[in-house]
Amino acid sequence: MIRKLQDQGKIPTARMCATCEYFSANVYDDAVRPHHCNLVNAPFGDRDLRLDCPEHQEIR
């Protein structure tokens, strides 16, 4: 629903990790830091997910 509202221009697109080309979800077996950011080449966890990242690059 959020994506649909963003596509319609009714709400701004969030620059979140989950929609970033640098984000790789669940690539590690580590329960605390399962994700990887390819921009900074580092693992990170759910508590570190950004909601408005200035380096965000939308998935193409």
Whole-number Cα distances in Å, 7 to 4, 41, 47 = 5, 30, 27
% pLDDT > 70, the chain? 97
pLDDT at 57 > cutoff 80: yes
Residue 30 phi/psi, 5° resolution? -70, 115
Q: What angle do CA 18, 22, 28 make, to 5 degrees?
A: 75
Residue 20 CA neighbour count, 13 Å, CB half: 24
The model's pTM is: 0.76
Model confidence at 6, in pLDDT bands (50, 70, 90)? confident
